[in-house]
Structure 1
Amino acid sequence: MTEIHPTAIVEDGAVIGEGVRIGPYSTVGPNVKLAVGVTLESHVVVTGHTSVGPNSHIFPFASIGHKPQDLKFSGEVTYLEIGANNQIREHATMSPGTEGGGGVTRVGNNCLFMMGTHVGHDCLVGDYAILANNATLAGHVELADHVILGGLSAIRQWSRIGTGAIVGGMTGVEFDVIPFGSVIGDRARLAGLNLIGLKRKGFPREQIHALRAAYRELFESDEGTLRSRAEALAAGQPDQPLVKVVTDFILEKEDRRFCTPRSDD
């Protein structure tokens, strides 16, 4: 059964699914949709044109769906779409999109947003992402599936973080991070591959070995540009799936900058 605490405020127009639990002093705005099994603990605010997917769990003092932190925003209708089975912990904040960024912020399924994390306007977050305490995404960031952000890390606006990548704690990311990459530093540098993550996901050893060889060709060679090296790898190893993920990411968009190893590493 749906449970709404007497001190909670659910405004007319809100759509509340079966089995939703809304705790003390929480507020739900008139354009909010809470799917089946959503739980809001005490003192949660969900507002704006926000939808929360089935069985997601939002903890005290989270602020979800308030207008974006963008001075160009002038009150237009934009959206925040949160998927299923997410855990959004204390003091986390998520913003809807802006007209200039496509109008929607999307969060996938099965993610964990720890205390004090922030998802800025127009971000696209994939499935199984983990943001440790106080990790922050500026506007227009793209986070692919299975990305891990360490505590107090910060991702600059318009950056892309590829699938399976890991960002170390207190790292500031200014440029794109390749899939399965591992970056660290006050200004992020590529420190290698997320080998532990690859092994945990059960990728075959031969695929990991091929990816390690491709990494060396991409980042330890002085021949040509990163893009030209990626083009050569894509042509030479079309049947290596992990290598293809990385080369597709590099070649997907023109004029992108990437986190690379520091010259003295």
Structure 2
Amino acid sequence: MQSQAFIHPSSVVEEGANIAASAHIGPFCHIGKDAVIEEGVRLVGHVTIMSATTIGEGCTVYPQVVLGGPPQNLSHKGGRTTLTIGRNCTIREFVTMHTGSDNARGATIIGDNCTFLAYSHVAHDCTVGNNVTLTNGATLGGHCEIGDNVGIGGLSAVHQFVRVGHNAFLAGGSMIVGDVIPYAIAMGNRAKLRGLNVVGLRRSGMSKAEIMTLRRAYQTIFDRARPVSENVEIARVEFADSPAAMKIVDFISARGKRHYAVPPLKGAVDDDADDQD
């Protein structure tokens, strides 16, 4: 522990914790011996850091957050596993994040510039990309893989082992039991795809022409006249010049046997989002 860091007298820092000089540890925090608190981190107060947890530069962590708790996994035997949080993340009240399991990946990894609003949860062995937002009460089950620029609405739950592609949006109150392709909107209890996340794509700087190409690729992949596996190979050829379309093709092609892909809502294969300027 470096003595230059501000540490409130009411906080407990176990011997062995590594706290950067510019970190600010507010009142009534408890920091375990294997914790690493990097430069510019601010623990507002009443924060618990357990196990081998690293908090990246510039993160702000609000009261009643517990980071690095052991995995809620009955197969875990108590071995050393880790939680790593990237830079410039905001972690609001009562958020929980668990370390990995010693019979699996062994690590839970959070990217940079993420926002976790109150009561959201990241379970063991998850990987979360950059610029991801979990709104109040959103929950990730174990082993989830969340891409970059994903938004997850309040009170939504993502089933264990589910993958969510880059720039997808999961609407509030949804139950996500299968993989969600990149750039899509998923909604509902046992969610279905509702088209493309056009608003998110515009905000990311994607051109109107590329969005229109992506719409055609989406319609091709989910054309009910043929199996999705056949449609994917058609799209691989037809949209080979579109990097965004190829991300969807590759995402679907990479799914393992345990993965179920969330389909479009019946009768709504076309993207119904407004894509007019």
What TM-score do you get using the length of structure 2 for normalisation? 0.93
- CA distance in 2: counterparts of 1:95 and 1:254, whole angstroms: 25
Correspondent of 1:249 among 242, 248, 251: 251
- CA distance in 1: counterparts of 2:86 and 2:143, whole angstroms: 18
Structure 1 residue 253 displacement after superposition? 2.7
- CA distance in 1: counterparts of 2:103 and 2:159, whole angstroms: 17
Structure 1 residue 72 displacement after superposition? 1.5
State the partner residue of 1:70. 73
Deviations 1:76-108 (A, max 9, x none): 000101100000100000000002221000000
CA RMSD of aligned residues (A): 1.0
Structure 1 residue 230 displacement after superposition? 1.1
CA contact (8 A) 1:231 1:251 kept: no
Correspondent of 1:215 among 215, 218, 231: 218
Segments of 4+ moved more than 6 angstroms: none
- CA distance in 1: counterparts of 2:100 and 2:193, whole angstroms: 30
Structure 1 residue 236 displacement after superposition? 2.3
Task: Specify the SS of the correspondent of 1:248.
Answer: helix
Task: Specify the SS of the correspondent of 2:54.
Answer: strand
Q: Which letter does structure 2 place at the counterpart of 1:28?
A: I
Question: Is 1:122 matched with 2:100?
Answer: no
Correspondent of 1:81 among 80, 84, 93: 84
Correspondent of 2:38 among 14, 35, 40: 35
* Structure 1 residues without counterparts, runs of 5 or longer: none
CA contact (8 A) 1:61 1:90 kept: yes
* Structure 2 residues without counterparts, runs of 5 or longer: 269-277
**Equivalenced residues, count:** 264
CA contact (8 A) 1:170 1:186 kept: yes
Structure 1 residue 254 displacement after superposition? 3.7
- CA distance in 2: counterparts of 1:116 and 1:222, whole angstroms: 43
Shifted more, 133-142 versus 73-82: the winner is 73-82
Structure 1 residue 58 displacement after superposition? 0.6
Task: Specify the SS of the correspondent of 2:83.
Answer: strand
Structure 1 residue 220 displacement after superposition? 3.2
- CA distance in 1: counterparts of 2:41 and 2:65, whole angstroms: 14
- CA distance in 1: counterparts of 2:59 and 2:166, whole angstroms: 22
Identity %: 37
Deviations 1:19-78 (A, max 9, x none): 100010001000000000101111000110010100011100000001111112221000
Task: Specify the SS of the correspondent of 1:7.
Answer: coil
